Amino acid sequence: MKGEKVKPLFKAYLAARGGEKVELAHRLALKLAGCTAGRFWDGVAALGLRERDVKALLSFLEERGKLRIRRGRDGRRLYVLTLRELRKSPVKLDEWLRPQAP
């Protein structure tokens, strides 16, 4: 995973199906959690991704039960805060991204 480029990984995620897609989404979330310093969405644009792509990726992981996106008091999804928490707390990261037993 170290040294892996984000854009080709994202393209592979879009083309994948089933369990492979979940695994690639997991790896992308880990990489994106590492770039949450400063202005996050500017960093995402520098990586060649769009804001809506990252939001769709996190929503996909939430639908699959692999991640919980933080919510504000008004119910809005807090994507950047979720990624910052994943970066700062590796124990929660393992908890949130742990594969579910069948």
List pLDDT tens digits, range 55-100. Answer: 999 999 989 888 888 889 998 888 888 888 777 765 555 555 555 5
Model-level pTM? 0.76
For residue 39, name the pLDDT band (cuts at 50, 70, 90): confident
- What is the arithmetic mean of pLDDT over 18-41? 83
Q: CA-CA distance, 75 to 63, in Å (whole number)?
A: 17
Query: In this structure, are residues 53 and 10 in contact, taking their beta carbons and an 8 Å threshold?
Result: yes
Which has the closest alpha carbon to 70: 32, 36, 96? 96
List the chain domain ranges.
6-97
Q: CA-CA distance, 68 to 97, in Å (whole number)?
A: 9
